[in-house]
Structure 1
């Protein structure tokens, strides 16, 4: 998103304005099309863990349910903003890495425990909600912008190499090319319409149709599935691992930083106040919904920049529209046929679409850090965090194998190393050291004082 003139713009439909049922459904559906993580992350986890179609389908259902629950809470009394939330790359990476070593049951059990911890830290009661009071440490663009770049670069490892599949490589690759070509075409020529906002979805449809003609697509599991299924409590079993809880805590921390950034934008556009109490209410609602979602087997969520972009471009800021999107997501989460249909899509097509998504995540981070004043201090914060965190992907196996699981789970994940380094370095350099240097320069009458804009 380009926020160059964001402060001068007003919403055509205000945050508290109500629209007709038809308008709510139409604009709400637009928001669902932007939630590409629902269509991609559960399938990629399932493919990596060699899960059955039925299990992948349930994962997708649980992600729809989690998305709906959190979005309803955010649009309702908790935050009262047009926020749509969906599965985030941070939780995708955390669940994928944890499940590979301890299983899905322990991954989601540990996510639920981490969610409860963050709920306690964000209690919407004055003096008790700590997260809202440390907003300045986790929300600056240099923190969450650089982190998105790190995540995008980390996810590149599971993108392009999966375009070819293990059999029928020619058909797989051709379907991937068609998918990417269609996505790019809709993004470039779709204008401010549903064509552009659903570009990834339309690309997946085009690639699947090509694959159905020249390859083979099996939707038999969809035909035999039922039309209604209630979510299960810890469907993959329950377990808790301290190292995985730490992993999930860091994922929640990243989600918090991104969510607060989105709250800030929306309140500016809607000309509303965003104090620490409101931040705590929003984050408490997010953590509550994510905790319930983890109990049902769904990935944790955060605010999607794409959905904030839809609000900005359309001018429709009504929170009742996003609440409608949340209700629609809950309904889809109760229909097994929906999850199994998505799970049956060709893996090469989904990998191609995910490659574009991962690129968008990285470039969204670049857009965010464009607001940072890049002096030597900020270069030190972002540069060292970026290169060191990505370097963890190349640590010697003989070194990491000898580390305790708790340490190994953190130091081998660029996203987790990145979020810790960025928050710590930004706090030390920009919150503590920068003011000291500025006062010293001012006292010495220097004309070369450190810039005052600490991103």
Structure 2
């Protein structure tokens, strides 16, 4: 348990302090190593939708661009905090499910529309930005902590079973084991070093090397890819679907809750003020960057807890370091060879790494809900939301296939059902009912005391 003094001394380099260019690049690159969603989510979407390597490579480029743009905005004038943005599991699930039903053009088009809506709701002008004022409904640990547990459990369905691949299952499985063992060893024995912070990336590298020696890899597409290209506007086409817009709105809502939680931690460590205006500026910058990223074909982002952990462990809270990380991400997003190289990595190796990542997502949620006082009211909120959400994965097909697309797109996704249930139940139970019960109990106690006297 940390002392109060140690909690006050989290940052050895303050948020507004500047370092040398070399230090900015070194520490900024360290932040990029933690952005595992960039390396994994586009490839997993590609595997699920049967996309070719060129499309997956482009999507990876777009994710780097989105990450870089939003990170520069957040580290710069919008939020002025050392925030690093990265693709979040909420948008990964949303794009994968929408892409399977209506295509990537409609998925990203609908994400852009949802982003515009959230930008309007968070305009950083006094009294106009609404999201900052509804923070208490979406940011409590019981809401976003339980939601991360739900997301981790939902994603378990696409992890372990893909370790074996479709051919050479023995080599595939052994390469997956090599990846997992390497990741776990670095997480356990890596200490507070770049080895532990980049454990998933190093595990992917080790698994790929093993697979290249004993299996068959094909990186020929990397040699034919160019060294530089600008992003395309709606590269997968453009479409808008109301059900998918609703789906993306819920994903933005989840990302908002997670982001505000990270803002709160960073301002506490940096001894700065976090008011509604600053929250709205941060969220507006995030939504703007995500909307622009959707236009390019990249996944929406949120503030990465892993990067907040790097700030906590290293004590380096300079926003100029994270701004450098954003610039590096933009540069990588303009190099097609980078995207094609990642897209060409062995599928079983990436699936093995994703299994660990999904477990970390779930346990991070458990860590967050550890702050919750688990009385009967909170158990009712989290317990019912958790079990009902996961139960949607097992709804009978004959029931869901006859539902309108707008309803079907929501009720079959645990993450979406979960975020709605958690926000509604937490608002009703903890914000409305709990104060009434406390007042009633206090009145009853007062009356009993008076009678006893």
TM category (shorter chain) comes to over 0.9
Cα distance in 2, alignment partners of residues 447 and 290 from structure 1: 55
1:445 is paired with a residue whose SS is: helix
Q: Residue in 1 aligned with 2:399?
A: 399
1:410 equivalent to 2:410? Answer: yes
Cα distance in 1, alignment partners of residues 103 and 406 from structure 2: 16
Deviation string, structure 1 residues 188-239 (Cα, Å, up to 9, x no partner):
1100000000000000000000100110110000011110010000000000
Q: Residue in 1 aligned with 2:290?
A: 290
Cα distance in 1, alignment partners of residues 40 and 223 from structure 2: 21
Deviates more, 1:168-177 or 1:44-53: 44-53
Residue 7 of structure 1 contacts residue 268 of structure 1 at CA under 8 Å; is this kept in 2?
no
Deviates more, 1:46-55 or 1:281-290: 46-55
Q: When the two structures are aligned, how many residues end up with a matched partner?
A: 447
Q: Residue in 1 aligned with 2:239?
A: 239
Q: Residue in 1 aligned with 2:11?
A: 11
Residue 204 of structure 1 contacts residue 353 of structure 1 at CA under 8 Å; is this kept in 2?
yes
Cα distance in 1, alignment partners of residues 222 and 10 from structure 2: 45
Q: Residue in 2 aligned with 1:440?
A: 440
Root mean square deviation of aligned Cα: 1.3
1:444 is paired with a residue whose SS is: helix
Cα distance 1:442–1:307, how it changes in 2: closer, same or farther (>3 A)?
same
Cα distance 1:183–1:447, how it changes in 2: closer, same or farther (>3 A)?
farther
Q: CA deviation at 1:8?
A: 3.1
1:237 is paired with a residue whose SS is: coil
Q: Residue in 1 aligned with 2:348?
A: 348
Q: CA deviation at 1:446?
A: 6.8
1:299 is paired with a residue whose SS is: coil
Q: Residue in 1 aligned with 2:149?
A: 149
1:356 is paired with a residue whose SS is: helix
Cα distance in 1, alignment partners of residues 99 and 184 from structure 2: 33
Cα distance 1:200–1:4, how it changes in 2: closer, same or farther (>3 A)?
farther
Cα distance 1:447–1:397, how it changes in 2: closer, same or farther (>3 A)?
farther
Cα distance in 2, alignment partners of residues 71 and 3 from structure 1: 30
Q: Residue in 2 aligned with 1:171?
A: 171
Aligned 1:3-402 pairs, distance under 5 A: 7-402=7-402
Cα distance in 1, alignment partners of residues 32 and 241 from structure 2: 33
Deviation string, structure 1 residues 259-295 (Cα, Å, up to 9, x no partner):
0000000000000000000000000000000000000
Q: CA deviation at 1:10?
A: 3.1
Cα distance in 2, alignment partners of residues 4 and 163 from structure 1: 43
Residue 235 of structure 1 contacts residue 296 of structure 1 at CA under 8 Å; is this kept in 2?
yes
Cα distance in 2, alignment partners of residues 127 and 391 from structure 1: 40
Q: CA deviation at 1:9?
A: 3.2
Cα distance in 1, alignment partners of residues 320 and 25 from structure 2: 10
Q: Residue in 1 aligned with 2:451?
A: none
Cα distance in 2, alignment partners of residues 279 and 433 from structure 1: 27
Deviation string, structure 1 residues 49-82 (Cα, Å, up to 9, x no partner):
1111111000000000000000001000000000
Deviation string, structure 1 residues 56-115 (Cα, Å, up to 9, x no partner):
000000000000000001000000000001000000000000000110000000000000
* TM-score normalised according to structure 1 size: 0.97
Q: CA deviation at 1:7?
A: 4.1
Cα distance in 2, alignment partners of residues 291 and 303 from structure 1: 16
1:302 is paired with a residue whose SS is: strand
Q: CA deviation at 1:445?
A: 1.1
Deviation string, structure 1 residues 398-452 (Cα, Å, up to 9, x no partner):
000010000000000000000000000000011011111111111111799xxxx
Cα distance in 1, alignment partners of residues 132 and 404 from structure 2: 33
* TM-score normalised according to structure 2 size: 0.97
Residue 175 of structure 1 contacts residue 208 of structure 1 at CA under 8 Å; is this kept in 2?
yes
Cα distance in 2, alignment partners of residues 204 and 101 from structure 1: 30
